[in-house]
């Protein structure tokens, strides 16, 4: 296990252009402490990062946030990526787009749009996203996307408040003309971890929703592609988080930090480098944070000698840290983890909570909390 294979180039770059967002989803994957507009990188810095990314071998650029449409230079960034031959995917809530701006993005060369929906029922959707009229706006945006002929993926995060309608989300996405849907049962990081006791469905609810969504695959074969992220806390094995730490993709924060995943900075003691100070290629190859959990040398038992080691890479580092206090431990979602019992305990306790009020995602609140 000591000889390392040559490092493959990254294929995807998630560009978190801004943390600003009109919505306040309680499961947002952004960190609890978020920098505001004044801390964001300039248009030129982002363009330089995309140029370096293309040279490094990145194929897909995911323009995300926060809400990427909060950036006035979105069109310029899309155009720049398109010139470089990068595949551009806009990950949006829809709020902040106009008919004209979407048209301009299409002309600039945007390849694909991923539109989030919070629920299939307007009232509930607006309550979850904390934005009145958000659902109606999304429906309007979906219509524009269809008019432009842009391919659409619908993204829906599943939790206690909408779990009964998980499969409806698929039917709904078909009606919107989506080619693809991502049904993601909530992954508990960032704001979702903070709100876990408000979001966790019961095991019975999760299993029913999971089965109903799976049953849609056959019904809609060739019509819509379903990407289904299983409910972690009710699973047997962990997910292959990020398809392996530092293996295929990188996240760049609005401030230029380059990370292996959204939550990586929650792990204390890891050193991450900034694209404001170093070349992307050097960060990918040499940043201590990226190298910390590459390959399998860092693994402990039971992962170290496990036959699934190359399938799930030991699960998620951030989850291992959050739940058992050691980022190099086996993800406790795994039945083989000595701490697996904890998961059922947490899931049962949190799903039994009656409190329905979320702590909404807010940049201001995060600042108060962290004293920034």
Partner 1 sequence: MTSEQISEGSRPHLLRGVKLKNDQVRKTWVLLAPERYLRLNAVSVDILQHCDGVAAFSSIVDDLAKKYGADRALIERDVRGLLVNLLEKRMLGL
Residues that bind ligand SF4 (CB under 6 A): 21, 23-25, 28, 30, 65-67, 93, 116, 237-238, 302-303, 306, 308-309, 312, 314-315, 330-331, 334, 336, 361
Comparison of 10 and 238: residue with beta carbon closer to ligand SF4 = 238
CA–CA gap between residue 261 and residue 247 (Å, rounded) = 11
Comparison of 47 and 116: residue with beta carbon closer to ligand SF4 = 116
Q: Which two tokens stand for residue 32?
A: 């609890």
From candidates 147, 227, 271, 297, binder to partner 1 by CB under 8 A = 227
CB of 81 to partner 1, least distance (A): 12
From candidates 22, 36, 151, 177, binder to partner 1 by CB under 8 A = 151
> Would you call 233 helix, strand, or coil by DSSP?
helix
Residue 222 touches which of partner 1, ligand SF4, none (CB < 5 to 8 A by kind)? partner 1
CA–CA gap between residue 293 and residue 153 (Å, rounded) = 31
CB proximity list for 252: less than 8 A, separation 6 or greater: 13, 14, 15, 16, 49, 258, 259, 275
Q: Please, which of residues 84-143 interact with partner 1 by CB under 8 A?
A: 85, 87, 89, 111-112, 114
Residue 66 touches which of partner 1, ligand SF4, none (CB < 5 to 8 A by kind)? ligand SF4
Comparison of 84 and 342: residue with beta carbon closer to ligand SF4 = 342
Query: Applying CB under 8 A, does 173 fall inside the site for partner 1?
Result: no
List, in sequence order, every residue forming a beta bridge with 181; answer none if it has no partner: 154, 226
Residue 361 touches which of partner 1, ligand SF4, none (CB < 5 to 8 A by kind)? ligand SF4
Query: Applying CB under 8 A, does 243 fall inside the site for partner 1?
Result: no
Size, binding site for partner 1 by CB under 8 A: 25
Residue 28 touches which of ligand SF4, partner 1, none (CB < 5 to 8 A by kind)? ligand SF4
Q: Please, which of residues 35-94 interact with partner 1 by CB under 8 A?
A: 55-57, 59-60, 85, 87, 89
SS (H, E, C) 245-299: CCCCEEEECCCCEEECCCCHHHCCCCCCCECCCCCHHHHHHHCHHHHCCCCCCCC
CB of 57 to partner 1, least distance (A): 4
CA–CA gap between residue 49 and residue 252 (Å, rounded) = 9
Comparison of 114 and 206: residue with beta carbon closer to partner 1 = 114
List, in sequence order, every residue forming a beta bridge with 13; answer none if it has no partner: 61, 250
CA–CA gap between residue 167 and residue 210 (Å, rounded) = 8
CB of 245 to partner 1, least distance (A): 19
CA–CA gap between residue 333 and residue 250 (Å, rounded) = 24
**The one segment of 15-23, 126-134, 221-229, 233-241 that binds partner 1 by CB under 8 A:** 221-229
Strand order in the sheet with 249-252: 225-229, 180-185, 152-158, 112-117, 87-92, 60-64, 12-16, 249-252, 258-259
CA–CA gap between residue 88 and residue 258 (Å, rounded) = 19
- Give the position of tokens 């694909």: 112
Site residues (vs partner 1, CB under 8 A): 9, 11, 55-57, 59-60, 85, 87, 89, 111-112, 114, 149-151, 153, 179-180, 221-225, 227
């Amino acid at each position: 296990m000591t000889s390392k294979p040559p490092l493959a180039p990254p294929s995807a770059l998630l560009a978190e252009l801004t943390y600003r967002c009109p919505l306040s989803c309680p499961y947002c994957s952004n960190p609890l402490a978020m920098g505001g507009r004044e801390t964001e990188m300039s248009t030129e810095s982002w363009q330089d990062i995309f140029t370096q990314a293309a040279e490094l071998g990145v194929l897909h650029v995911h323009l995300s946030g926060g809400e990427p449409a909060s950036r006035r230079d979105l069109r310029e960034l899309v155009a720049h990526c398109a010139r470089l031959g990068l595949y551009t995917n806009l990950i949006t809530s829809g709020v902040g787009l106009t008919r004209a701006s979407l048209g301009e993005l299409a002309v600039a060369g945007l390849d694909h749009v991923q539109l989030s929906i919070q629920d299939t029922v307007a009232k509930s959707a607006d309550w979850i996203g904390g934005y009145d009229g958000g659902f109606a706006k999304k429906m309007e945006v979906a219509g524009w996307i269809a008019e432009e002929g842009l391919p659409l993926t619908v993204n829906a995060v599943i939790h206690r408040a909408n779990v009964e309608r998980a499969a409806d989300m698929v039917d709904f996405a078909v009606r919107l003309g989506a080619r693809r849907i991502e049904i993601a049962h909530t992954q508990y990081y960032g704001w979702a971890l903070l709100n876990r006791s408000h979001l966790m469905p019961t095991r019975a609810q999760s299993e029913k929703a999971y089965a109903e969504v799976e049953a849609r695959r056959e019904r809609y074969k060739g019509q819509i592609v379903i990407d289904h992220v299983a409910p972690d806390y009710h699973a047997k094995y962990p997910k292959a988080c990020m398809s392996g730490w530092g293996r295929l993709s990188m996240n760049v924060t609005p401030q230029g930090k380059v990370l292996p995943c959204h939550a990586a900075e929650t792990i204390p003691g890891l050193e991450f480098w900034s694209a404001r100070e170093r070349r992307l290629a050097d960060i990918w190859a040499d940043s201590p944070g990226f190298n910390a959990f590459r390959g399998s040398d860092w693994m402990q038992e039971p992962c170290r000698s496990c036959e699934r080691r190359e399938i799930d890479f030991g699960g998620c580092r951030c989850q291992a840290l959050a739940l058992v206090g050691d980022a190099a431990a086996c993800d406790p979602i795994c039945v083989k983890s000595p701490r697996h019992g904890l998961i059922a305990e947490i899931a049962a306790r949190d799903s039994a909570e009656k409190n329905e009020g979320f702590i909404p995602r807010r940049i201001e609140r995060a600042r108060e909390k962290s004293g920034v």
